[in-house]
Structure 1
Amino acid sequence: MTLLLVWLIFTGVAGEIRLEAEDGELLGVAVDSTLTGYSGRGYVTGFDAPEDSVRFSFEAPRGVYRVVFGVSFSSRFASYALRVDDWHQTGSLIKRGGGFFEASIGEIWLDEGAHTMAFQLMNGALDYVRLEPVSYGPPARPPAQLSDSQATASAQALFAFLLSEYGRHILAGQQQNPYRRDFDAINYVRNVTGKEPALVSFDLIDYSPTREAHGVVHYQTPEDWIAWAGRDGIVSLMWHWNAPTDLIEDPSQDCYWWYGFYTRCTTFDVAAALADTSSERYRLLLRDIDVIAAQLQKFQQADIPVLWRPLHEAAGGWFWWGAKGPEPFKQLWRLLYERLVHHHGLHNLIWVYTHEPGAAEWYPGDAYVDIVGRDVYADDPDALMRSDWNELQTLFGGRKLVALTETGTLPDVEVITDYGIWWSWFSIWTDPFLRDVDPDRLTRVYHSERVLTRDELPDWRSYVLHATTVQPAGDLALAVYPNPGAGRLHVEVGLPVAAPVVVEVFNLLGQRVFQYQAGMQPAGLWRRAFELALAPGVYLVQVRAGNLVARRRWVSVR
């Protein structure tokens, strides 16, 4: 057995780590030079047994890296196994060309410091490994505008604050159990981390009339929540709405009145109720909304803006408000909006819609939604939730803020933000999920420089909702044209002072797809035209000139 161990730090392009196979630790394999087209002194071959591998030790800065192999094999497919530290992946590579070629297996995240890698390629040859740094930009900020044109000053200020922090910080949030007289979830977080969440979500569940009719005890009240909020705490409210009538009381089906928000425990037909506005069931819908309006009014009277998240997870079908499909749901959402905002004059509400995967047709519309959330309950405590984030950015990027409105796990914020995943806030569901989060993870996240806790909140009530305060586009006079454009992008920017100019283009997933560094430029009008081979879609064009920045949305068409 050939055995060679070298501490490797090879760089090609800026920040790239290149590991030549022949310089690794060889276990059951050997260096060869029979084939042509390899780099360095040769390549490694002889991966015949499952334990045959080449291993590397290397150092890397923290970040996301695209893993690229220089390989050659004669068959159409070749199986590989890759281990980096404790992370492991297996799969197949597809042959391209007749000699050595590059194959990528995706991206990995590396913490700063020393790492190990082991690679196997059955019946193939490995020339090198490249770890190519991947830089994700911030998500595109949506317009500085609420759906309610009469929103209160404090609601506007809170929204302006959320916009200003989007892509810079994630707000720490927590769901509070409504069946505890004390704030047990908040207290637990404080005891573990020494900090409080910036945002707490409460549930109006027991104010549903069909629950109050059974003499439900209110362990917590809106007055308690208002007292917690004070002048700086951020309140989110949800409503597990017990059906207005037609509850199923059948222990054999595990159905009781307190499960009346589940589809399985009510025969209430929301589509039929909405179809007949003269019906008793339609009247009961309005009755329930009016009861909840009275509770929401308390927050408006106390000048507490509310991140209002009703009718959540509708597309899942497990709640009665989503049981009849997207059209009745959207009709109910709009009825709720009109009744609360225009009939009851509740202008302290920031409307949060909860999206479900693959359910774009359920969206009520931009005129009725301010923020889009996602409720995620992952089996893996280290899940990045990239697919959820990417889908939301594809659908709503540049249009709406995106939040992790419920989560059963707590992602590592240092990792997900390196991937460009910047939720506006996260909210951990109450026990048992909260206590299942590793206390060390909870503490690290609450003390991360990328997370805001209650003690770190600024005076968000002083924020003003207009574009120049929430997005620094006014720092530079920037024009991009034609818009839409087919391949050719013209950029014009007025430079108030001499400065180095950098032009970047990001897609709605936050991935940088183009960069141009112009170097130092004199004050005055600066122009450039770029030929961009980009897929049709919406992009964010960002121009930096020293410490000044401007951003514009640009649409690419064919």
Structure 2
Amino acid sequence: MNISSSMIVVQAEEGRLHGVACVTETPGYTGAGYVKGTSKDGDKLEVDMHVPEDGFYDLGIRFAVANGKGKCTNALLIDGSCYGYVMSRSTSGFVIEHQCAVYFKAGTHTITLLKAWDYGVDVDCFMLSPAQTPELSRSPRKLINPNASEATVGLWNYLNSNFGRRVITGQHTASGFLPAEEFDYIQKVTGKQPAIRGFDLLSYTHATETAEPTEHKLLEIAENKGSIESAIEWTNAYNGIVTLTWHWFAPTGGKDKTFYTQNTDFNLPIALTPETKEHELLLADMDAVAEQLKRLRDADVPVLWRPLHEADGAWFWWGAFGPEPCKQLWRLMYDRFTNLHQLNNLIWVWNSHVKDWYPGEGETDIDSCDIYAPSANYGPLRKPFEQVDALAGGKKLIALGENGSIPDPDQMMASRTPWLWYMTWGGGFVVDGKSTKDDQLRKVYSHPYCITLDLLPDWRRYGME
């Protein structure tokens, strides 16, 4: 994106500065200077941009990150609603980065960069240029597993029928038992239940006993052990949809929660090398989880399978050695689960918005990312949607794998941000009233755009007539 005479350009130093200041330290800025990045909680930069007519606009920001500052992150708010995050490591001077397409009514609108974590980017100016209306439709695709079960194909047909039209409600729970506090709370507040229930397989591998276990780790392991039974009940007794993630305890052990990189010395490149002990342990864990997934298969329970999540963050061991080993592990898992174990009940959900980590268009069914907006901010998260959508060139179904605050359905519709489903993370993200307040929870669960458990059809046979 280059600055042109047809663009609407507002200099950062013309905005309202809260805890930040205009400086001239780094050459290459335009205007009278640039705004130094946020550093303290509450720091923010606000600019007003006047839009001449209704329509979609491409929002660009010209910014810089000095060497040595690490990753810099600001929440991007448009008229107060979170559209994602401006994130960057060091840059070579000022760069222009497209953020996302935004629908504006004619008039004045406020763009805000709010301190998120670490430091914020140094901002030179903001730009708007007319954009095409984002596309919602998708051409039908087949599952990457040609031998997918009938019920799995039925779920796939149902998901395809809803993309761009409605969002499917989802909720994760740390507990493997029914009922769970998150679901009880949603029922109490809204009178309804989510259509998708998220479970974790963290307690089903061999090396879950670790050194220096915290009480929370021990509780997680104990509560999680009923996940398979509850997942079967969720589908077969309640007609609900199941998604599974896997906080994979490192096969060679470590301390406390060894899925965290900092708590284990597990070396993925070595583990991907045949005839090493680490490779044997890696395969043994996959086989143990495959046996649990077979129980779901044999009970005719399709699974939205989301392994190796958030790898690009590197805080989990499967992402600690960069994208190539992670992609190799993804392919190994797919081959072993599909061809050796005949797990034909899995819909494979990739979970990262970063291009370098993407295994390939033909190697995933659904692409997703995990985004946590500031508490009680219900923006549509348009920027991460666009980033995930770009991985396969706008050809895939896109889901919000994890979230805190639930995006507002009216904002999703207005911004044409068609998340296929969302899955609010468990515990305090739903029951403390901070991430999504009760009034907003009631709005979501009663909104005609949102599919709740009671609205699900016989999805295992969807499109089979």
Shorter chain as denominator, the TM-score bin is 0.5 to 0.7
- Quick one: distance in 2 between partners of 1:246 and 1:323? 16
- 1:243 counterpart (238, 250, 256): 250
Classify 1:284/1:193 alpha carbon distance in 2 versus 1 (closer, same or farther; 3 Å). Answer: same
- Residue pair 2:177, 2:230 contacting (<8 A) in 1 also: no
Q: Which has the higher contact order (CA 8 A, sep 6+)?
A: 2
- Quick one: distance in 2 between partners of 1:378 and 1:118? 20
3-state SS, counterpart of residue 242 of structure 1 = coil
Matches for 1:344-363 after TM superposition, within 5 Å: 344-356=341-353, 359-363=354-358
Q: Does 1:365 align with 2:360?
A: yes
Alpha-carbon distance, 1:212 to partner: 5.6
Alpha-carbon distance, 1:368 to partner: 2.4
Q: Does 1:452 align with 2:451?
A: yes
Aligned to 2:180: 183
Provide Cα deviations, 1:473-497, integer angstroms capped at 9, x if missing partner: xxxxxxxxxxxxxxxxxxxxxxxxx
Q: Point out the structure with max Rg over C-alpha.
A: 1
Give the TM-score of the pair, scaled to structure 1: 0.57
- 2:392 counterpart (356, 373, 396): 396
Matches for 1:373-388 after TM superposition, within 5 Å: 373-379=368-374, 381-388=377-384
- Quick one: distance in 1 between partners of 2:165 and 2:159? 10
Matches for 1:46-445 after TM superposition, within 5 Å: 136=133, 138-178=135-175, 182-211=179-208, 216-219=221-224, 220-230=226-236, 232-247=239-254, 249=255, 256=256, 259-275=257-273, 277-356=274-353, 359-379=354-374, 381-435=377-431, 436=434, 437-445=436-444
Classify 1:245/1:386 alpha carbon distance in 2 versus 1 (closer, same or farther; 3 Å). Answer: same
What is the one-letter code of the residue matched to 1:399?
Answer: K
- Quick one: distance in 1 between partners of 2:457 and 2:186? 21
Give the TM-score of the pair, scaled to structure 2: 0.68
Classify 1:170/1:86 alpha carbon distance in 2 versus 1 (closer, same or farther; 3 Å). Answer: closer
Residue ranges of structure 2 left out of the alignment (5+ in a row): 1-52, 59-77, 82-100, 111-129, 212-217
Classify 1:85/1:330 alpha carbon distance in 2 versus 1 (closer, same or farther; 3 Å). Answer: closer
Residue ranges of structure 1 left out of the alignment (5+ in a row): 1-59, 68-83, 88-105, 120-132, 250-255, 470-558
- Residue pair 2:370, 2:400 contacting (<8 A) in 1 also: yes
Alpha-carbon distance, 1:325 to partner: 0.8
Alpha-carbon distance, 1:393 to partner: 2.3
Matches for 1:441-480 after TM superposition, within 5 Å: 441-464=440-463
What is the one-letter code of the residue matched to 1:340?
Answer: F
Aligned to 2:18: none
Provide Cα deviations, 1:448-471, integer angstroms capped at 9, x if missing partner: 111111111122122237xxx9xx
Provide Cα deviations, 1:170-189, integer angstroms capped at 9, x if missing partner: 00001112377741111111
- Quick one: distance in 2 between partners of 1:304 and 1:322? 29
- Residue pair 1:237, 1:307 contacting (<8 A) in 2 also: yes
What is the one-letter code of the residue matched to 1:449?
Answer: P
3-state SS, counterpart of residue 205 of structure 1 = coil
Aligned to 1:7: none
- Quick one: distance in 2 between partners of 1:264 and 1:213? 14
- Quick one: distance in 2 between partners of 1:353 and 1:136? 26
What is the one-letter code of the residue matched to 2:141?
Answer: A
The RMSD of aligned alpha carbons is 3.1
Alpha-carbon distance, 1:390 to partner: 1.5
What is the one-letter code of the residue matched to 2:228?
Answer: P
Alpha-carbon distance, 1:398 to partner: 3.8
What is the one-letter code of the residue matched to 1:143?
Answer: P
- Residue pair 1:85, 1:117 contacting (<8 A) in 2 also: no
